[in-house]
Amino acid sequence: MKGIYLINERPVLTGLSREESILMQETELKLFLNSHNIEAVTLNSYQLNSYYTIPHALLYDLRLNRVELDYLIIHSYEIWEDFIFSYPARWLILKSYFRSVLTVETPSIVH
């Protein structure tokens, strides 16, 4: 099974700094990938990380590579609610490239 994981760098999880929030998401998502035998796919050879942080860039790379994958893995819908409500059509198009969207957990957010 192959998937892509998406980390939101903008919101800060309650009680954590921005850097700690990103690290916590990355750690939990990697553990989830490993425990479910999901291979993280990199679509862009110029990517600095093994994950995406910008949904628009992910959508661009998916369109460019014309690829469909098994899973989009995010920490929670709560972390992505601003994007989902601001760009509902883009969210639906993005999800259409994956068989399923998987979430790890629902944390508390400070905006």
- pLDDT at position 103 is 92
Q: Which amino acid is at 76?
A: S
Domain that holds residue 7: 2-110
- How many domains is the chain built from? 1
**Residue 110 has what pLDDT?**
40
pLDDT at 97 over 70: yes
pTM of the model: 0.85
Mean pLDDT, residues 97-111: 71
Edge-to-edge strands, sheet with 39-40: 39-40, 2-6, 69-74, 98-103
Higher pLDDT, 110 or 11: 11
